[in-house]
């Protein structure tokens, strides 16, 4: 009994979803089958792309013209770019919330953005058409301006990875540099006093595009370290096109001397090498062995800056390829 009502009365008067589906099991089975079929249909027909295809309708054209005022960039670069882009029939009409074409001219650079309308289904085709028109405009730009870099890949997740590596320095260059190093060592040792023990030259070769002042400062620090630590006496600098070094009297063998150089570079200079574009240091005792020593450590033909310029050129070229 509960509040004067019997269990039979409670069961008879209580109505809820659980009781309804218990008493009318055929309806529950029909609804369950419908939900299962609906789930199977949804699973079969749902999109299964890892990256949904969301068409990007905005692109930007960037044109550099170094050293030119914003007014001149606006007149001679930005406006012609806008006119070429406007020739495409799928450019969105300007209205509230949609710009169609908008631009910004700064000293030395022009930015022009384009927005396609929603009626065009194939945005790649339209952007390729605009890219072709802009490529044709490159021939009409003022001298020093361009090329136009048209970027329409904001929504693309596909990537092309390229590895750019430099070949080794040619044997002819190594031989010429070895000859210059051998002559420099011979001239220094001809002026050095005798009776100081065996002399050893430590040489670092580098690309001629590297600023030699940087490596000469490091060479001077190493020379001071050898004198202060007692590792060398009568330390004399040597230098020439594409190499710096020092010649000193020292009792150390080659391995110990190179180990001391690496330790000095790590602890005092904070770098494992003198310069990213320099060759590893070599120890030369007999100038006749210079070419063999340099050939064993010869570095790449191109510097990192040159490789970076090459990759930039590849990137700009690929960006102009029609999609």
pLDDT recorded at residue 318: 75
Q: Is residue 233 predicted with pLDDT exceeding 80?
A: yes
Distance (Å, rounded) from C-alpha 111 to C-alpha 103? 5
Distance (Å, rounded) from C-alpha 280 to C-alpha 206? 9
The number of angstroms, rounded, from the C-alpha of 179 to the middle of its chain's C-alpha atoms is 37
Bridge partners for 162 per DSSP: none
Helix 290-297 crosses helix 171-191 at what angle (to 10 degrees)?
130
Judge whether 232 and 248 are in contact, CB under 8 Å.
yes
Q: Is residue 117 predicted with pLDDT exceeding 90?
A: no
> Nearest Cα to 224, choosing from 242, 246, 200?
246
Average pLDDT rounded to a whole number, residues 184-190: 89
Q: Is residue 32 predicted with pLDDT exceeding 80?
A: yes
Distances (CA, A) of 22 to 15, 18, 31, 161, 252: 11, 6, 13, 63, 97
pLDDT recorded at residue 183: 92
pLDDT 10s digits, 43-102: 888 766 666 666 778 889 999 888 888 899 999 999 999 999 888 888 888 777 777 888
Judge whether 323 and 132 are in contact, CB under 8 Å.
no
pLDDT 10s digits, 278-302: 888 889 988 899 999 999 988 888 8
User: Which of 20-29, 189-198, 228-237 is least confident?
Assistant: 189-198
pLDDT recorded at residue 38: 93
Judge whether 167 and 301 are in contact, CB under 8 Å.
yes
**What percentage of the chain has pLDDT greater than the value 70?**
88
pLDDT recorded at residue 1: 46
Matching residue, tokens 């509230």: 96
Bridge partners for 283 per DSSP: 202
Task: Categorize the per-residue pLDDT at 121 as very low, low, confident or very high, splitting at 50, 70 and 90.
Answer: low
Judge whether 314 and 162 are in contact, CB under 8 Å.
yes
Tally of residues, the chain: 323
Distance (Å, rounded) from C-alpha 101 to C-alpha 89? 12
Residue 26's contacts (CB-CB under 8 Å, 6 or more residues apart) are none
Bridge partners for 243 per DSSP: 205, 240
User: Which of 89-103, 220-234, 240-254 is least confident?
Assistant: 89-103
What's the whole-number average pLDDT of the chain? 83
Judge whether 153 and 287 are in contact, CB under 8 Å.
no
Q: Is 118 exposed, middle or buried (0-12, 13-18, 19+ CB in 10 A)?
A: exposed
Task: Categorize the per-residue pLDDT at 156 as very low, low, confident or very high, splitting at 50, 70 and 90.
Answer: low
Matching residue, tokens 């309708």: 57
Q: Is 2 exposed, middle or buried (0-12, 13-18, 19+ CB in 10 A)?
A: exposed
Average pLDDT rounded to a whole number, residues 181-187: 91
Phi-psi region of 302 (alpha: psi -120 to 50; beta: other; left: phi over 0): beta
Q: Is residue 35 predicted with pLDDT exceeding 90?
A: yes
Read off φ and ψ for residue 109, nearest 5 degrees. Answer: -155, 150
pLDDT recorded at residue 182: 92
């Amino acid at each position: 009994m509960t509040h004067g009502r019997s269990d039979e009365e409670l069961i008879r008067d209580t109505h809820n979803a659980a009781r309804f589906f218990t008493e009318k099991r055929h309806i529950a089975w029909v609804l369950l089958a419908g939900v299962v079929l609906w789930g199977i249909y949804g699973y079969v027909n749902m999109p299964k792309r890892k990256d949904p295809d969301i068409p990007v309708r905005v692109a930007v054209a960037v044109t550099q013209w170094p050293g030119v005022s914003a007014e001149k960039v606006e007149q001679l670069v930005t406006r012609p770019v806008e006119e070429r882009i406007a020739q495409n029939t799928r450019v969105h009409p300007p209205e509230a919330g949609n710009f169609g074409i908008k631009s910004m001219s700064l000293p030395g650079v022009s930015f022009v953005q384009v927005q396609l309308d929603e009626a065009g289904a194939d945005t790649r085709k339209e952007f390729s058409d605009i890219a072709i028109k802009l490529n044709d405009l490159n021939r009409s730009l003022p001298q020093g301006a361009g090329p136009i870099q048209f970027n329409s890949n904001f929504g693309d997740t596909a990537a092309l990875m390229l590895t750019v590596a430099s070949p080794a320095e040619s044997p002819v260059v190594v031989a010429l540099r070895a000859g210059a190093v051998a002559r420099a060592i011979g001239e220094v040792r001809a002026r050095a006093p005798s009776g100081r023990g065996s002399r050893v030259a430590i040489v670092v070769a580098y690309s001629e595009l590297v600023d030699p002042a940087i490596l000469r400062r490091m060479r001077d620090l190493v020379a001071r370290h050898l004198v202060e630590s007692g590792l060398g006496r009568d330390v004399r600098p040597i230098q020439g096109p594409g190499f710096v070094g020092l010649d000193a009297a020292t009792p150390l063998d080659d391995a110990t001397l190179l180990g001391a150089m690496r330790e000095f570079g790590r602890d005092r200079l904070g770098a494992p090498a003198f310069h990213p574009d320099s060759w590893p240091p070599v120890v030369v005792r007999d100038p006749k062995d210079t070419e063999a020593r340099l050939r064993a450590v010869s570095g790449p033909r191109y510097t990192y800056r040159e490789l970076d310029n090459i990759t930039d050129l590849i990137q700009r070229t690929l960006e102009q390829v029609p999609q």
